[in-house]
C-alpha cells in the first residue's frame, strides 16, 4: 500500500488502485449489483418499514466492508486506509444509498429513522476510533491526536464526499481522484513525524 515510511504512498499503488476501482465502477452494472440492492434502490421508501429495511441493508453492507478491511496486517494505518477506500468505492457504486440516509438524517421526519441512522454512524465511528487508538498505541500517529475526534473527522470526510457525488460517471472518477487526495491529507495530518 505504501512504502516503509508511513507518511508516503507509492505512486504505483495509487495508480493501480485507481485503475482497479475505475474498472470495477464502469464494468457491467448488472453483474456487480445483486438483486436485493437493485430492488432496494428501486423500491418506494416512503413507509417506515421500507426505510427501516433500507437502513438494515445499508448497515449490513457497511459492516461487511469493515470486516473485509480487518486482515492479518498489523499496521492499523493500512486497515484505516482500506476502510476508507472500500467505503469510497461503495459510495461510487451506489451514490443513492448514502444520499438517502444522510437526507433522512438531516431533513427531520421520523425520529426513529434518524436515531437508527445515527446509531449506524456512531457504531462505524467507534470501530474507526478503535483502529486509530491502536495506531496511536503503536506510535504510528501523533500522540496529541484524540482517536474519537480523528474518527469523527474521518466520517465527516466520507459524508462530504458522498453528498457531492451523483450518478454521473464523470463524477465517479472525480470522487475517486478527490478521495486519494483527501485521504493523503488526512493521513499526513495524523501520522507520527517519527514514522
Return per-residue pLDDT of the chain as tens, 195 residues: 455 555 556 677 666 666 666 555 554 444 444 444 554 454 555 556 666 676 667 767 666 666 666 655 678 888 888 889 888 888 888 888 888 888 878 876 777 878 888 888 898 899 899 999 999 999 999 999 999 999 999 999 998 898 877 656 677 888 888 999 999 999 999 987 655
Q: Which of helix, strand or coil describes residue 47?
A: coil
Dist CA 147 CA 131 (whole Å): 8
Q: Check residue 158 and give its pLDDT.
A: 92
- Count, residues in the chain: 195
CB 33 within 8 A of CB 93: yes
- What are the chain's domains? 11-190 (1.10.357.10)
Dist CA 39 CA 59 (whole Å): 16
How far is the CA of 176 from the CAs of 65, 68, 108, 165, 189, in angstroms?
17, 19, 30, 10, 20
For residue 11, how many other CB atoms are within 10 A of its CB? 8
Dist CA 139 CA 186 (whole Å): 17
Amino acid at each position: 500500500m505504501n512504502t516503509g515510511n508511513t507518511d508516503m504512498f507509492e505512486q504505483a499503488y495509487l495508480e493501480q488502485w485507481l485503475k482497479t476501482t475505475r474498472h470495477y465502477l464502469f464494468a457491467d452494472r448488472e453483474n456487480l449489483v445483486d438483486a436485493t440492492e437493485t430492488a432496494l434502490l428501486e423500491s418506494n421508501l416512503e413507509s417506515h418499514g421500507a426505510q427501516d429495511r433500507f437502513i438494515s441493508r445499508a448497515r449490513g453492507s457497511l459492516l461487511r466492508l469493515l470486516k473485509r478491511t480487518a486482515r492479518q496486517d498489523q499496521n492499523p494505518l493500512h486497515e484505516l486506509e482500506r476502510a476508507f477506500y472500500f467505503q469510497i468505492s461503495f459510495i461510487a457504486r451506489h451514490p443513492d444509498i448514502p444520499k438517502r440516509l444522510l437526507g433522512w438524517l438531516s431533513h427531520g421526519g421520523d425520529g426513529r429513522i434518524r436515531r437508527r441512522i445515527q446509531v449506524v454512524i456512531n457504531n462505524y465511528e467507534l470501530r474507526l476510533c478503535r483502529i486509530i487508538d491502536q495506531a496511536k498505541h503503536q506510535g504510528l500517529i501523533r500522540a496529541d491526536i484524540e482517536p474519537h475526534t480523528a474518527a469523527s473527522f474521518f466520517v465527516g470526510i466520507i459524508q462530504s464526499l458522498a453528498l457531492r457525488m451523483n450518478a454521473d460517471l464523470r463524477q465517479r472518477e472525480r470522487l475517486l481522484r478527490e478521495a486519494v487526495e483527501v485521504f493523503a491529507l488526512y493521513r499526513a495530518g495524523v501520522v507520527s513525524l517519527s514514522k
